[in-house]
């Protein structure tokens, strides 16, 4: 899938169906004297329903569906026959989709489980037929209720990628290369910044046929939380990752400083991101001999507040240890309060 086909933000206008009108029919049959009212109820209008679809991972199929309408309920008829319900309209969305009211920006629902459904706009109720209004003093009511109108809502659908591990780093830090080596994903790789223009997902095959999902998030730059570069657009995808793997190249001018900048951008976007498990991967370490690596290790032990590992995706160095550590972090027993 190309960058242009990755759609993670869609606005649309949805309209549920109006309810059908109740019937004011009076029974008129041969040999039936004073048949009285027998008008049926109107059917309800169709709902607009969001439904999780695990086979989708983007909102591309909704890109040009800006207006969605459900069917109207049928009118009631004689012999207390209820009108047909309006046709419900289903909006298939990938797991991790957030449904937000466009006007108020209120989050209406987060779709995170397979088969989960949420009614975005309920259809209008059908009106009652005149058979409901018969009383001892009003035995032939000639009126019925009209159906209730449907609802119209402007909603925004935002996709937040579901992955166990999110790769965080500056552009050209080696995130896509790592993803291509430890998974079957084939992200675009080139020696220039912002090669990755969309999140890429890959499944890491671990021991005993166990797996976990890793996401390559487009590079973050200083000021990303204010909208600079591509980072702001994709920072929301990191919110659902349980573990963050910070990737910093070994030839960076100051590894500790780069980590603090990345951390600061995440904090400005959402302070809750700092509560996630964190691990640092020092990439491109095949450029270092043992002496330089030992010197860098001494410096990092003093300045880095979290655990780190040396890896090289190209030279296949340290990748087994990296997968072992990530697996251990992902399967760490929950702390009971």
219 annotated ligand binder: yes
Q: Please give the Cα distance from 171 to 115 (Å, whole number).
A: 37
Q: Which CATH number is associated with domain 1-161?
A: 2.70.210.12
Residue 191, pLDDT above cutoff 60? no
Instruction: Name the residue ranges covered by the structural domains of the chain.
Output: 1-161, 165-331
What is the pLDDT, as a whole number, of residue 6?
Answer: 63
What average pLDDT does the structure give for the chain? 82
CATH number for the 165-331 domain, one of 3.40.50.300, 3.40.50.720, 2.40.110.10, 1.20.120.1770?
A: 3.40.50.300
Q: Which residues contact 20 (CB under 8 A, 6 or more apart)?
A: 41, 42, 43, 44, 45, 72, 73, 74, 75, 76, 83, 84, 86, 126, 127, 147
* Region 239-243 average pLDDT: 81
What is the pLDDT, as a whole number, of residue 128?
Answer: 92
Residue 114, pLDDT above cutoff 80? yes
% helix, strand, coil for the chain, step of 5 = 25, 25, 50
DSSP for 226-280, please give it: GT-TTHHHHGGGGGG-SEEEEEEETT-S-HHHHHHHHHHHHHHH-GGGGGSEEEE
**Half-sphere CA count of 104, side-chain side, radius 13 A:** 6
Q: Please report which confidence band the pLDDT of residue 121 belongs to, taking 50, 70 and 90 as the band edges.
A: very high
Task: Single out the residue of 183, 182, 201 nearest to residue 311, CA to CA.
Answer: 182
What is the pLDDT, as a whole number, of residue 216?
Answer: 80
What is the pLDDT, as a whole number, of residue 299?
Answer: 87
Residue 196, pLDDT above cutoff 50? no
Q: Which two tokens stand for residue 63?
A: 């890109």
Q: Phi/psi of residue 243, each to 5°? A: -130, 135
224 annotated ligand binder: no
H helix runs in 156-221, sequence order: 175-182
312 annotated ligand binder: yes
170 annotated ligand binder: yes
What is the pLDDT, as a whole number, of residue 184?
Answer: 66
Residue 97, pLDDT above cutoff 80? yes
Q: Please report which confidence band the pLDDT of residue 140 belongs to, taking 50, 70 and 90 as the band edges.
A: confident
What is the pLDDT, as a whole number, of residue 99?
Answer: 94
284 annotated ligand binder: yes
Q: Please report which confidence band the pLDDT of residue 88 belongs to, taking 50, 70 and 90 as the band edges.
A: very high
218 annotated ligand binder: yes
178 neighbors 313 (Cβ within 8 angstroms):
yes
Q: Please give the Cα distance from 299 to 293 (Å, whole number).
A: 10
283 annotated ligand binder: yes
276 annotated ligand binder: no
Q: Please report which confidence band the pLDDT of residue 3 belongs to, taking 50, 70 and 90 as the band edges.
A: very low
Tell me if residue 77 falls in helix, strand or coil: strand
* Region 107-133 average pLDDT: 92
What is the pLDDT, as a whole number, of residue 230?
Answer: 46
Interhelix angle 175-182/319-330, nearest 10 degrees: 90
Greater model confidence, 235 or 42: 42
Residues 195-230: b if buried by 16+ CB within 10 A, e if exposed:
bbbbbbbbebeeeeeeebbbbbbbbbbeebbeeebb
Q: Please give the Cα distance from 266 to 312 (Å, whole number).
A: 25
Which range among 30-39, 228-237, 263-272 shows the weakest confidence by mean pLDDT?
228-237
286 annotated ligand binder: yes
pTM for the structure as a whole: 0.68
What does the pLDDT look like over 142-186, one tens digit per residue? 889 999 999 999 999 988 777 788 888 887 777 888 888 887 656
**Judging by DSSP bridges, how do beta strands 152-159 and 97-101 pair with one another?**
antiparallel
What is the pLDDT, as a whole number, of residue 164?
Answer: 84
Q: Please report which confidence band the pLDDT of residue 192 belongs to, taking 50, 70 and 90 as the band edges.
A: very low
147 annotated ligand binder: no
196 annotated ligand binder: yes
What is the pLDDT, as a whole number, of residue 118?
Answer: 95
What is the pLDDT, as a whole number, of residue 194?
Answer: 42
DSSP for 277-326, please give it: EEEEEEE-GGG--HHHHHHHHHHHHHH-SS-EEE-BTTTTBSHHHHHHHH
What does the pLDDT look like over 267-321, one tens digit per residue? 887 788 888 889 999 998 888 888 888 888 888 888 888 899 998 888 888 899 9
Q: Which two tokens stand for residue 264?
A: 């600061």
Q: Which two tokens stand for residue 181?
A: 């080596």
Q: Please give the Cα distance from 69 to 304 (Å, whole number).
A: 55
176 annotated ligand binder: yes
């Amino acid at each position: 899938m190309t960058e242009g086909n990755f759609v993670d933000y869609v606005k649309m206008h949805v309209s549920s169906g109006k309810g059908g009108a109740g019937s004011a029919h009076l029974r008129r049959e041969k040999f039936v004297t004073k048949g009285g009212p027998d008008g049926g109820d109107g059917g309800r209008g169709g709902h607009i329903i969001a439904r999780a679809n695990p086979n989708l991972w983007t909102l591309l199929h909704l890109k040009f569906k800006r207006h969605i309408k459900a069917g109207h309920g049928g009118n009631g008829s004689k012999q207390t026959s209820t009108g047909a319900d309006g046709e419900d309209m289903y909006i298939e969305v990938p797991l991790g989709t957030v449904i937000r009211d466009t006007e108020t920006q209120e989050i209406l629902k987060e779709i995170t489980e397979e088969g989960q459904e949420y009614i975005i706009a309920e259809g209008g109720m059908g009106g009652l037929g005149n058979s409901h209004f018969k009383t001892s003093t009003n035995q032939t009511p000639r009126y019925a209720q009209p159906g209730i109108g449907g609802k119209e809502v402007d909603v925004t659908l935002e996709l937040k990628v579901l992955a166990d591990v999110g790769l965080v780093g500056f552009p050209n830090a080696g995130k896509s290369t790592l993803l291509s080596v430890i998974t079957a994903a084939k992200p675009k790789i080139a020696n220039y910044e912002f090669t990755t223009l969309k999140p890429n997902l890959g499944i890491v095959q671990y021991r005993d046929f166990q797996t976990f999902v890793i996401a390559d998030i487009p590079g973050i730059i200083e000021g990303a939380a204010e909208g600079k570069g591509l980072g702001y657009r994709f920072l929301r995808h990191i919110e659902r990752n349980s573990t963050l793997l910070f990737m910093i190249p070994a030839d960076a001018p100051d590894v500790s400083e780069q980590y603090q900048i990345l951390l600061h951008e995440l904090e400005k976007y959402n302070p809750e991101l700092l509560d996630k498990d964190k691990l640092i991967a020092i990439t491109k370490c095949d450029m270092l001999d043992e002496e330089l690596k030992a010197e860098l290790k001494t410096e990092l032990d003093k300045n880095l507040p979290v655990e780190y590992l040396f890896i090289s995706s190209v030279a296949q160095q340290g990748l087994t240890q990296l997968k072992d550590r990530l697996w251990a972090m992902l399967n760490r027993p929950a702390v009971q309060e």
